[in-house]
Amino acid sequence: MKNAHMTLTINGEETEVSFAPYKTLLEVLREDLRLTGTKHGCELGECGACAVLLDGKPVLSCLVLGLECDGREVLTVEGLAEDGRLHPLQETFADMGAAQCGYCTPAILVTARELLDRIPNPSREQVREALSGILCRCTGYHQIFEAVEAAMTCTPLPAAGRARDEPLETEA
């Protein structure tokens, strides 16, 4: 079986990749591009842990063939931080207990980012709806909802224990 070869934009960077043509986008990301931030919990489109943004829309990367992604834009958790600064969602998730084991976290983060891009002030129901395709077994979801909502204004907690001592940025 000959490898497929294509160019796509990953986290804002044009990237060339060769991969076995049967591979899913999930496998191309994890195995061929070594972007292991994107996780898998079933590889059947059931758990949601592999969500990434494809051309700005959340998709389950285990249900997308790599071959379908030629010339398209993919955003993974590795691309959330910009200019060396974490995205507000990352800050609030880390601060507010929204990541426990951290395994579903990358999928939830990119999905929440798409939600905030689309609806800057989502209601709790809209947050629940947006995240309903991703299972989290640890948190009971509430700290996730709150972290998504807090990211809108990025309400910081006391700085003790913050991984760096600068104040939180707030979204313009």
Partner 1 sequence: MSSGNGTPRDDLKIIGRPRRRVDGRAKVTGQTLFADDLVLPRMLHCKLLRSSLPHARILQIDVSRALAHPGVHLVLTGGDFPIPYGILPVSEDETALCTDVVRFVGDPVAAVVARDEFTAAEAVDLIEVEYETLLTIATPEEALATPEPRIHEHSEKGNIHKLVSLSFGDVDQALKDSYRVFDDTFFYQGSTHLAIEQHATLAAMDPDGKLTVWSSTQTPHYLHRALAKVLETPAAHIRVIACPNGGGFGGKSDPFNHEIVVAGAARILDRPVKICLTREEVFYCHRGRHPVQMSFRTGVDREGNITGMHVRTFLDGGAYGSYGVASTFYTGALQTVTYHVPRYRFQGCRVFTNKPPCGPKRGHGTPQPRFGQEVQLDKIAEALDQDPADLRLRIVEKPDTITANYMTVSTIGLAECIRRVVKRSDWRRKFRQLPEGHGLGLACSSYLSGAGLPIYWNRMPHTGVQLKLDRSGGVTVFCGAIEIGQGSDDVLVACVAEVLGIQPFDIRAVTGDTDLTPVDLGSYSSRVTLMMGNAAIQAAERAREILASAVAAHLKVPRSRLVFADNTVLDSADPDTSVSFQEAVCLAEAASGTVGTVGSYTPPRSAARYKGGGVGPTPTYSYTASVVEVRVDPETGWIDVPRVWIAHDIGRALNPTLVRGQVEGDVYMAVGEALMEEQTFRRLPSRLSPALVHKFPSMLEYKSPTSHDMPEVITDLVEDPDPAGPFGAKEVGQGPLLPVMPAVANAVYDAVGVRVDEIPITPEKILKGLELKRAGRSPRVGPGPFPDIDWPEPLEVPPPWEGGDGKAETPKDVPR
> Residue 7's beta-bridge partner residues?
16
Which part of the chain contacts partner 1 (CB under 8 A), choosing from 53-61, 64-72, 112-120, 132-140?
Answer: 132-140
Smallest gap from Cβ 143 to partner 1, in A, equals 6
Q: Would you mind telling me the total number of residues written for the chain in this entry? A: 172
Tell me: does residue 135 bind partner 1 (CB under 8 A).
Answer: yes
Tell me: does residue 114 bind partner 1 (CB under 8 A).
Answer: no
CA 49 to chain centre: 9
Pick the closer one to partner 1 by CB: 54 or 91: 91
In the chain, the largest separation of any two C-alpha atoms, in whole Å, equals 55
How far, in Å, CA of 134 to CA of 141, rounded? 10
Side chain identity, residue 69 = C
Site map 18..47 versus partner 1, x via CB under 8 A: --x-x-------x---xxxxxxxxxxx-xx
Pick the closer one to partner 1 by CB: 71 or 116: 116
Query: Which residue carries 């629940």 as its tokens?
Result: 128
Pick the closer one to partner 1 by CB: 163 or 172: 163
How far, in Å, CA of 167 to CA of 22, rounded? 46
Tell me: does residue 126 bind partner 1 (CB under 8 A).
Answer: no
Residue of 120, 122, 92, 124 lying closest to 105 (CA atoms): 92
| Helices and strands: H and E segment counts in the chain | 5, 5
Site map 63..102 versus partner 1, x via CB under 8 A: -------------xxx-xx----x--xxx-xxxxx-xxxx
Smallest gap from Cβ 115 to partner 1, in A, equals 12
Smallest gap from Cβ 73 to partner 1, in A, equals 18
